[in-house]
Amino acid sequence: MDGRNSMPERSALEVKPGVEGGHDGMKVTPKKFRKKKQEQIDIQKLAGEVREGARTSLSKAITLIESSNPEHKEQAQNLLQELLPYTGNSIRIGITGVPGAGKSSFIEAFGSMLCNMGKKVAVLAIDPSSSLSGGSILGDKTRMEELSRNRNAFVRPSPSAGTLGGVHKKTRETMLICEAAGYDVILIETVGVGQSETFVRGMVDFFLLLVLTGAGDELQGMKKGIMELADGIIVHKSDGDNIPKARKTVREYMQILHFLQPATPGWMSKALPASSLEKTGLKEAWEMICQFETTIKESSYWETRRLEQTREWFQSMIVDHLIDSFFNDRDKKTQVKALENAILKGEITVTQGVLKLFS
Amino acid sequence: MDGRNSMPERSALEVKPGVEGGHDGMKVTPKKFRKKKQEQIDIQKLAGEVREGARTSLSKAITLIESSNPEHKEQAQNLLQELLPYTGNSIRIGITGVPGAGKSSFIEAFGSMLCNMGKKVAVLAIDPSSSLSGGSILGDKTRMEELSRNRNAFVRPSPSAGTLGGVHKKTRETMLICEAAGYDVILIETVGVGQSETFVRGMVDFFLLLVLTGAGDELQGMKKGIMELADGIIVHKSDGDNIPKARKTVREYMQILHFLQPATPGWMSKALPASSLEKTGLKEAWEMICQFETTIKESSYWETRRLEQTREWFQSMIVDHLIDSFFNDRDKKTQVKALENAILKGEITVTQGVLKLFS
């Protein structure tokens, strides 16, 4: 039971993947029956169970939040509104890493340490491009086995590739649900390529970057601008013979960080060595984060940033809605394509294209 | 005459700043008379004059492009369409620099060298935040005096702070006009703060960053991510006693560039020393740009990037239009503000806010 309670329990909601994805050609359950089942969700009761820390209820709540079924959407928002007053009390940590940096093993070791310190730790994943990165599917079942079994931990696997679109937009809401469920530390892992780091940076208090030894080689494969988002850098796999090399790499990163503007005003980003294998440097990483929390709460930027993040989230959702509803309009799409072709052929100017589109 | 032919000749179009800015409280010319004057612009004739290289006509054409008068807008687009077939034959170079790097003196020395090599050089400026950066106003009249007097050069001063909104959106079109007028090299200078570098990177082939000696100190004040946009870095003021220090800085930048992904696929960004005072390194800078042109044209990425830039320009203008017309709607603005307050107070969820806004 323990090892599984973090899996999305879709059955509890009678939501079939096919229904969620909008392809209902496969449904066998009569519509009436399904509807009746859905109506049985008692939002008040579910909210109460979530707050009491019932893990199956938490899984159920998150599945409801992630569902794209229109009826679920309304229920999800009602649930979220019930829980809103109990949110905001965690420390939100974003974790990213260069390929091969050992993100999962770090989260497992780091999260287990926090759990053993008595913290309740939730692990979420954001993967805006899940359909492109097949790697995470394979890993879902086996990764973070130790942490998943810890009673203080809740590990939400990243959504399987291709089955759910736009789930990343729900990570913020999932985070709020976890906070209402009493989780003290939320670890949000970036998965996949693209803009995931920027998404995560926009919803966390502290952003941690995992790298390997040999800054030069690493940095070449590193995504543009990623170092400038980090409040802390962990030089991972600093164990055995690798320790002297890791120390050198820490110094190199400290030097580069010195060149960059701080990711958080009032905080000088730091680099530290750590090993998940030898369980070293994990305590120091947590101390760095605690020091960050104290410093930034003192400067009152902590709350300012969170309000700003919520405001930006609202603005970006408005803009997303405007753009989606425009570009998803089939007529507009055809018109844009035709005008784009005319522009690329040099037949009309870009401004003329825009004027024609909105005339 | 020579020193002034690059100034915007607004009088030729009878456009008063007040009219351009949309504040028509000051207009004294009777409307009928103004209208008659405007209709006198013979677009075909103006296009012909621009193509023949008449500088007053070029200034007149740019002023027409920059005008926000609705009638001018249509004429401007007709003019641009006339000239479109003759555009695209220049090399487009963006130039930015850390504060104090001596951008103007570099452009003056570099541009003059190119003119003396027989190239026709146009200098444009982009300043998306002109109302914030008062510095450029003072400099407009005196800067680049030598280059302005060169018969192969066309120096367009940056728009005065505060008088014209959104002129930066016209820099691309101004660039096209200059190309039709036969300019071989377009230098686009970033002015002011904010997003100007990203704007410029999105419209040029080669992006040049000017820095001073002492990479460490410099980088601290450097805008985030700016080095990653650069195809080349010039360590400026490499003259006199400063030469050894400049050489060291070049090595430091080369090392940092080695860590970063190339700004242009297939090109390894380089750092070079140069002095506008002693006129050294300018030839080498030009050779680097020519080498870049050869390399990137061979890989066919040259044309790919330009088409991609045009496509992105069209897309971004569509998105701008969608966002502007939404957020400029007074009712919507009030509604957004009220919902935002409810969200920040924790009364409703962000998703509920968006649903309410579009219901």
Closest CA to B94 of B282, B212, B233: B233
Count interface pairs A-B at CB distance under 8 A.
128
Q: Does residue B333 sit at the A interface (CB-CB below 8 Å)? A: no
pLDDT of residue A73: 85
pLDDT of residue A224: 60
For residue B321, the chain A residue with the least C-alpha distance is: A354
Tell me the mean pLDDT in the region A102-108: 92
pLDDT of residue B145: 84
Q: Does residue A256 sit at the B interface (CB-CB below 8 Å)? A: yes
Contacts of A220 in chain B (CB under 8 A): 258-261
Q: Does residue A273 sit at the B interface (CB-CB below 8 Å)? A: no
Which tokens hold the place of A22? 């909008």
Does ipTM exceed 0.85? Answer: no
Closest CA to A81 of B24, B352, B51, B81: B352
For residue B215, the chain A residue with the least C-alpha distance is: A259
d(CA A222, CA A11): 40
Model confidence at B30, in pLDDT bands (50, 70, 90)? very low
pLDDT of residue B40: 65
Q: Does residue B354 sit at the A interface (CB-CB below 8 Å)? A: yes
Question: Rounded to whole angstroms, what are the CA distances from A330 to A325, A350, B167, B179?
Answer: 10, 21, 33, 36
Contacts of A172 in chain B (CB under 8 A): 350
Give the best-scoring range by mean pLDDT among A26-35, A219-228, A287-296, B128-137: A287-296
> Who's near A30: CB < 8 A, 6+ residues apart?
none
Model confidence at B302, in pLDDT bands (50, 70, 90)? very high
Model confidence at A291, in pLDDT bands (50, 70, 90)? very high
d(CA A259, CA A267): 14
More confident residue, B292 or B28: B292
Contacts of A350 in chain B (CB under 8 A): 172, 310, 313-314, 317
For chain B, what percent of residues have pLDDT higher than 70? 77
pLDDT of residue A123: 94
Question: Rounded to whole angstroms, what are the CA distances from B74 to B43, B77, B356?
Answer: 11, 5, 38
pLDDT of residue A27: 38
Tell me the mean pLDDT in the region A289-310: 96
Rounded to the nearest angstrom, the minimum Cα separation between A66 and chain B is 13
Give the best-scoring range by mean pLDDT among A71-80, A81-90, A216-225: A81-90
Query: For testing the chain B interface, which of A259, A333, A337 should be mutated: the one with the most B CBs within 10 Å?
Result: A259
Closest CA to A202 of A191, A219, A188: A188
Contacts of B259 in chain A (CB under 8 A): 215-216, 219-220, 222, 256
Contacts 24+ apart (CB under 8 A), A224-228: A224/B225, A224/B228, A224/B260, A224/B261, A225/B224, A225/B225, A225/B228, A226/A96, A226/A197, A227/A256, A227/A257, A227/A260, A228/A260, A228/A261, A228/A263, A228/B224, A228/B225
Contact (CB, 8 A) for A158 and A136:
yes
* Of the partner residues B73, B313, B350, the one whose CB lies closest to the CB of residue A317: B350
Please give the single-letter amino acid code of residue B191. Answer: V
User: What are the pLDDT digits (tens) for B75-127?
Assistant: 999 999 999 999 999 999 999 987 778 888 999 999 999 999 999 999 997 75
Tell me the mean pLDDT in the region B230-237: 95
Q: Is B80 within 8 Å of A313 when comparing Cβ atoms?
A: no
Return the percent helix, strand and coil in chain A, to nearest 5.
Answer: 55, 10, 35
pLDDT at A12 over 80: no
Q: Does residue B357 sit at the A interface (CB-CB below 8 Å)? A: yes
pLDDT at B357 over 60: yes
Query: For testing the chain B interface, which of A43, A169, A256, A349 should be mutated: the one with the most B CBs within 10 Å?
Result: A349
Q: Which residues pair with A271 in a beta bridge?
A: A233
Q: Does residue B256 sit at the A interface (CB-CB below 8 Å)? A: yes
Tell me the mean pLDDT in the region B235-243: 95
Tell me the mean pLDDT in the region A274-302: 97
Q: Is B314 within 8 Å of A354 when comparing Cβ atoms?
A: yes
Compute the CA torsion angle A333, A334, A340, A342 (nearest 10 deg).
Answer: -160
Model confidence at B182, in pLDDT bands (50, 70, 90)? very high
Q: Is B353 within 8 Å of A173 when comparing Cβ atoms?
A: no
pLDDT of residue B159: 56
Closest CA to B6 of B76, B88, B87, B62: B62
More confident residue, B286 or B3: B286
Please give the single-letter amino acid code of residue A337. Answer: K
Query: For testing the chain A interface, which of B207, B249, B314, B340 should be mutated: the one with the most A CBs within 10 Å?
Result: B314
Contacts of A344 in chain B (CB under 8 A): 307, 310-311
More confident residue, B45 or A73: B45
Contact (CB, 8 A) for B193 and B84:
no
Which tokens hold the place of B196? 């100007």
Model confidence at B143, in pLDDT bands (50, 70, 90)? low
For residue A310, the chain B residue with the least C-alpha distance is: B344
pLDDT at B217 over 70: no
Q: Is B318 within 8 Å of A224 when comparing Cβ atoms?
A: no
pLDDT at A137 over 90: no
Q: Is B349 within 8 Å of A216 when comparing Cβ atoms?
A: no
DSSP H helices, chain B, are 17-20, 31-39, 43-52, 55-66, 70-83, 103-116, 135-140, 145-149, 171-180, 196-201, 215-221, 243-259, 282-298, 301-327, 330-344, 350-357
Per the prediction, chain B carries an average pLDDT of 81
Model confidence at A226, in pLDDT bands (50, 70, 90)? confident
Contact (CB, 8 A) for A161 and A130:
yes
pLDDT of residue A168: 61
User: What are the pLDDT digits (tens) for A14-23?
Assistant: 333 333 333 3
Q: Does residue B137 sit at the A interface (CB-CB below 8 Å)? A: no
Closest CA to A101 of A189, A187, A231: A189
Which tokens hold the place of A258? 């010195």
For residue A307, the chain B residue with the least C-alpha distance is: B344
Model confidence at A113, in pLDDT bands (50, 70, 90)? very high
User: What are the pLDDT digits (tens) for B152-164?
Assistant: 999 987 654 333 3
Contact (CB, 8 A) for A230 and A263:
yes
Tell me the mean pLDDT in the region B306-327: 90
Q: Is B314 within 8 Å of A224 when comparing Cβ atoms?
A: no
User: What are the pLDDT digits (tens) for A172-201?
Assistant: 999 999 999 999 999 998 865 456 788 889
Rounded to the nearest angstrom, the minimum Cα separation between A112 and chain B is 32
> Who's near A263: CB < 8 A, 6+ residues apart?
A201, A207, A228, A229, A230, A231, A269
pLDDT of residue A5: 40
Q: Is B173 within 8 Å of A351 when comparing Cβ atoms?
A: yes
* Of the partner residues A314, A321, A351, the one whose CB lies closest to the CB of residue B340: A314
Q: Does residue B338 sit at the A interface (CB-CB below 8 Å)? A: no
Which tokens hold the place of A300? 């009152």
Other beta carbons within 10 angstroms of residue B274's beta carbon come to 26
Q: Does residue A340 sit at the B interface (CB-CB below 8 Å)? A: yes
Residue with tokens 């940033």, as numbered in its chain? A305
For chain B, what percent of residues have pLDDT higher than 90? 56
Closest CA to A125 of A190, A201, A209: A190
Residue with tokens 């993040």, as numbered in its chain? A309
pLDDT at B25 over 90: no
Model confidence at A266, in pLDDT bands (50, 70, 90)? very high
pLDDT of residue A70: 81
pLDDT at A336 over 80: yes
More confident residue, B247 or A328: B247
pLDDT at B22 over 50: no
pLDDT at B134 over 50: no
Contacts of B349 in chain A (CB under 8 A): 77, 80-81, 84, 173
Q: Are strands B91-97 and A232-235 parallel, antiparallel or unpaired?
A: unpaired
Per the prediction, chain A carries an average pLDDT of 81
d(CA B264, CA B291): 13
pLDDT at A99 over 60: yes
pLDDT at B9 over 90: no
d(CA A219, CA A209): 12
Q: Could you give the domains of chain A? A: 1-84 (no CATH), 87-302 (3.40.50.300), 304-357 (1.10.287)
> Who's near B109: CB < 8 A, 6+ residues apart?
B276, B279, B282
